[in-house]
Structure formats: C-alpha cells, structure tokens
Structure 1
Amino acid sequence: MISGRSSAVKVTPVSKLLCELRITVMLFRRLARAALPLPLLLLLVLVTGCSLLDGGGSSASSHKIDQEEDVISSNGGGISNLDKLDSFMERGSGSQRVVHYTIEGDPVFTELRYEGGRLELSYDTTEDAFGSREVKTYSCNELVRTEEKHQLKYSLKGCEGAMGDGDLLTVSFDLGSQDKFEFILKYGFNLRNEINTVNQNLVKDMLNGTVIEISDYGLPVEDRQSIYRKLVLSNYLGEKQLSTSCNLKPYESYDLTVLINSAERHYAWSECDTGRDGKTMTEAADYIIGLVESGDTFLQLPAATGGVK
C-alpha cells in the first residue's frame, strides 16, 4: 500500500556499506563506457557514489517540493493541488508527483508517469528518516478515482511485483468524526449578507440600506456534510494567499471563519482576487451560498428591493 507508513528502522552502517558498494560498481560500469582516463574515472565514482548514497539515488533538486504543481498531503493538515492529480488522470499522459509527509514531518515522494499505456511509479523514501531510505519502481495498469460516502480514494490497480494493488491517496471528509464544525460566512457588497451557524443567524441584504435577519436558523445535517466536504477538497486548512483589494466599484467581498474542533481559521478576500487560492475560496464560498439560498428558509424571504450603488 503506497500511502502506508514505513517501519521505524534506521539504515545500519552495514546496509550503508553494501549500498555504497552497489552504487560504486554501477557507476564504474557506466562511466567506463565513456572511455575516461582512469584517475578521473575513479574520482567521479568516489564523489558521485557518495552523493548518491546521501541522496538515495535522486538529486537534491528532484526533492525540491513545488507548492504549485505537486500534490501535497500534509498528514492531517489538508491536501493541496488535488486538481492536478485529476488533470493528470484525464490527460492519460505526462507525469505527476505526489508528496506525503510522515508523522515526523519527512517527505515521501511518489512520481507517476504514463508510459506505453501503463502507469509507471517511482516510490522514493530517501528523505524519510524512519523509513527504508530507498527508491523503488513499480508498474500498474491504472489509477482509479472512487468517491464513497465520506472519503475520496485514488487507488492503483493491476500492479506488478511485490507492491500489489493499493491506495495512493485517501481524502476523508466525514463530518461525524469531528467534535465541532461551525462557520460564519459574510459576503456581498460591504459584507451585508451572513450565514452564521454559530449563532444560527441568516442575514439577507435588501440592497436598500436595510437587511432581513432570521434567528434560530438551522442548516440541515446533509448540507453541513456537503459543505464540509467542499471545504476539505478546497484544502481550507492550508496556507492561503488572498487579497481584499479590488479596483471595481462596487465590488463583492467574502469573509469566512471556520471553527473546527478547537481550532479557528479565518479568510478574507474580494471578487477581484483571481489568484489560485482566491478562485478556490470563491468557488467554495459560492457553493455554500448557493446551497443556503436554494433552501426553503431563504426562498421564503422577500426579494431585494434596492439596487447596487
């Protein structure tokens, strides 16, 4: 199972020595084909072999995490760039890297690549201090995306060798597993609309200088679960680069506070924020707004009588 935790055993000096010997022999054979002078050949084997031992067969640059392109699973802190994995599957070509962080905070890299109609994988644990610290390659028939009631799975199927089939990535959004989930969303011109599950208030801007407020507003359980799913898939726990500035007059703003268990997260941005995070958060907010405004409680409110100024 790709996403499983490696056993907590560090590399022993004997295994390091054997690894260095294998690397040295391999490099000597490859470099000898280049017909280099013997002194230079020995120097290259010595220097390169040691660097490969330290890096586990991958260059340092290959372990530089790309916050924009890599799919990053932060071990309880959310998953970013999940859409990149979906796009990779839709294309059926190219490559995509998935980075899992262990409990200790070490990255484990899985490189996916379509080759010859199959899915080739490189599983790299060389930066996992408590793992096997090696790079393994596998071949599978396909990567399958399956959404169940409270989780989303990306599973590897038809895999060869000792690896076998398994889950590459699992995203859980089971609201029932949380002790607390509440949110306050203010939106619209001057943030005069509000959906507040903390105080159970619903506020509608009438666009004429007045608002209508409903107390004891209860969001249905299925809607709360749906909203929680949307926020998880939007990686709401991740760091966001958002902007409240806007050159439009008037313009719509968003202000979202999420209370999850004992934590609280706050986000503020405007409709002019067209950055990656701005678009993602606007999509999540509009999803919540659409869900609430299509409900019976909101539909019973009178239509706004004013206009936007």
Structure 2
Amino acid sequence: MEVMPGSKLLRKLRITAILFRKLAWAALPALLLLILATGCSLFESGGSSAISHKIDPEADVISSNGGGISNLDKLDNFMERGSGSQRVVHYTIEGDPVFTELRYEGGRLELSYDTTEDAFGSHEVKTYSCNELVRREEKHQLRYSLKGCEGDMGDGDLLTVSFDLGSQNTFEFVLKYGFNHGNEINTVKQSVVKDMLNGTVTEISDFSLPQADRQSIYRKLVLANYLGEKQLSTSCNLKPYESYDLTVLINSAENHYAWSECDTGRDGKVMTEAADYIIGLVEAGDSYLQLPAATGGVK
C-alpha cells in the first residue's frame, strides 16, 4: 500500500513510533535493575560458578581428608594426554568439597579453583594459568605440583599422597588366595602357607617380611586407595577359580576385602593388582623359594 506524504495515515504512523520510543526508554531503568538483581542472568548461564558441583565418583579425582585418594590414575592419564580436562575434588577437614578443574589451553595449563561450598573458604571461583603440572615421587610421598603459575596463585602442590609406613603405629595383613583360599600370607602370625594342590599344605612358621617389602606393600595399598569404599564381587562363573581374601590392620582399624578373579570391575582390578604385587614379593623371597613345588593339580 502506498502512503502519500502529508496523509492522515502517515501522521498516525509517526505518532505511534514516537510513543513506542518513549515507552522503551521509560522501561530501560527497570530492565537494568532486573539484570542487576538476577546477577546478570540474562547474559550468563550457569550461575556464579563455572564448575559443576555434581561429583562423579568414577571420573573425578577425589581426595578425602585422611581417607585416601580415588581415581589417581585419571590425573596421570590427563597429564600424559596433555589435552582435555580433569577435575580434582578435595574434602576439607569439615567435610566440605573444594573443586579444581584442570584443562589444557594453548599449550598452558588453566585451572579454575572453586571454594563456594567451603564453609571456611573465600566462597569464590578463581581462574589461574600455569606452565605445567609435575608428578614427582619422593621417598615416602607422591607430589603433583603446579609450576610457573601467574598471579596470586603461585607455585605449589595440587595434590600430595603420603605412604610413610613409619608414621603408622601398626601395619599387618592377612592375605588368603588361590583355589579355595589354599594359600596364606599372615604377618600377624608370621607364617606363610602354600597349597600343594593335592589336599595338603606346607608352611613357613617363622616368616619375617623385610621392612623394605613392608614399606613397598604399604605404598601399593595406599595408591590402590585401600581405605576407600570398594565395590567387590566374590561370584565367578569359572570352575575352579581363584579368589582373594585380604584383611589389613592399620593402627586400631581393621579393613576386610573379598573378591574373585572374575571381578573385572574397576575396584576388582585395582585390588587384584595390589594382591598380586604382595604375592609376587613374598614368593620371590628366599624362604618361600625353599619350599617344595606343588605336586598336585587343579580340579
């Protein structure tokens, strides 16, 4: 439709446009107040924290205050890849989670540090840039250290795992393994039982595990997060099958684990690796090598 200059319709259109502009300017202060009151939610998504607070027990590296560290291998894999992201969750002594999200950006290591759920923290999310994350094992300690960090972050340890056996008052274990638990390594009774696979056993009754081996075994158990909750299974569809039964006595606590060779879950694999490590150390010792070879067979 053609609108002629000076027509009544054109004048109405101009008046309508002027009124619309006035209404828009009048509403602008209210719109700005709404934006400020909602924390700029019209422009940002995800709230004040860029890090999800939903903890993933399978994917996150979780450091419990005095309760061990789970999924440590995830952090090692992240460092080897040199790409992607990895989250580390620290629990404070009060039980509050502190989140650290690591990611590689342009050849540097970026990290977001979230203390918004820490009752005694700064309740904020800060982002830092560092040159690298370094894994270093010392005598009785494993350290993951941040290097070349900018700003007020500074260099320091992201994570520390201690496995100093000397700091423990008591460390003993009883490991039963093999078919029907026919073999046993018992540091409490200082004995080793070998299954001869013919219905009989032979035994070392004065077994002594060298201190260096005890320290090595303790390290292996700590890195396996033996104090953490384990999902283990004793069922197996093989006949016959090997099974494991491990009791660890640490100071005044006693921890028990039982599983079979068919347990191929994450915890089953970790505990089998730790048990096989103990067995390998003991069976390579001089006293065990002096035992006669098994004469029977598995049925």
Q: Which residue of 1 aligns with 2:37?
A: 46
1:276 equivalent to 2:263? Answer no
Paired residue type of 1:177: S
Q: Which residue of 2 aligns with 1:33?
A: none
Q: CA RMSD in A?
A: 1.8
Change (3 A) 1:203 1:209: same
- Higher RCO (CA 8 Å, separation ≥ 6 residues): 1
Q: Which residue of 2 aligns with 1:14?
A: none
Contact 1:240–1:277, Cα closer than 8 Å, also in 2: yes
Of residues 276, 286, 292 in structure 2, which corresponds to 1:302?
Answer: 292
Cα deviations across residues 53-103 of structure 1 (Å, max 9, x unaligned)?
A: xx98226x8001110010000010000000000000000000001111101
Paired residue type of 2:145: S
Q: Which residue of 2 aligns with 1:219?
A: 209
SS at match of 1:231: helix
Q: Which residue of 1 aligns with 2:166?
A: 176
TM-superposed deviation, 1:42 = 4.8
Q: How does 1:22-171 map to 2 (within 5 A)?
A: 42-43=33-34, 45-48=36-39, 57-58=48-49, 62-171=52-161
TM-superposed deviation, 1:38 = 7.2
Alignment partners' CA distance in 1, 2:30 and 2:226: 56
Q: Which residue of 1 aligns with 2:232?
A: 242
Change (3 A) 1:102 1:209: same
Change (3 A) 1:43 1:195: same
Q: Percent identity among equivalent residues? A: 85
SS at match of 1:239: coil
Paired residue type of 2:48: G
Paired residue type of 2:101: E
SS at match of 2:169: coil
Change (3 A) 1:130 1:49: farther
Paired residue type of 1:308: V
Alignment partners' CA distance in 1, 2:168 and 2:71: 23
SS at match of 2:178: strand
SS at match of 1:281: helix
Paired residue type of 2:80: E
SS at match of 2:271: helix
Q: Which residue of 2 aligns with 1:293?
A: 283
Q: TM-score, normalised by structure 1?
A: 0.84
Contact 1:56–1:126, Cα closer than 8 Å, also in 2: no
Alignment partners' CA distance in 2, 1:275 and 1:184: 23
Alignment partners' CA distance in 1, 2:48 and 2:161: 30
1:186 equivalent to 2:176? Answer yes
Contact 1:56–1:134, Cα closer than 8 Å, also in 2: no
Alignment partners' CA distance in 2, 1:267 and 1:41: 60
Which has the greater radius of gyration? 2
Q: TM-score, normalised by structure 2?
A: 0.86
Change (3 A) 1:38 1:66: farther
TM-superposed deviation, 1:113 = 0.4
Change (3 A) 1:165 1:207: same
